Amino acid sequence: MARAPERQIGKRVTFDPATFAALDLYARDSMRSFQELADEAFADLLKKHGRPVGLKDALRQSTRAFGVNDNRPDSPKPKKRKG
Q: Quote the pTM value.
A: 0.59
What is the per-residue pLDDT across 14-42, written as a single tens digit (0 to 9) for each? 999 999 999 999 999 999 999 999 999 99
pLDDT-derived band at 11 (thresholds 50, 70, 90) equals confident
Q: How far is CA 16 from the centre of its chain?
A: 26
CA–CA distance, 12 with 14 (Å, rounded to integer): 7
For residue 31, what pLDDT is reported? 96
For residue 25, what pLDDT is reported? 96
Residue 57, judged by CB atoms within 10 A of its CB (0-12, 13-18, 19+), counts as middle
**Cα dihedral sign, 56-59-65-69:** negative
Q: How far is CA 8 from the centre of its chain?
A: 18
What is the per-residue pLDDT across 34-76, written as a single tens digit (0 to 9) for each? 999 999 999 999 889 888 888 887 787 777 655 666 666 666 6
Closest by Cα among 44, 32, 46, 34 to 10: 34
**Domain spans, the chain:** 17-61
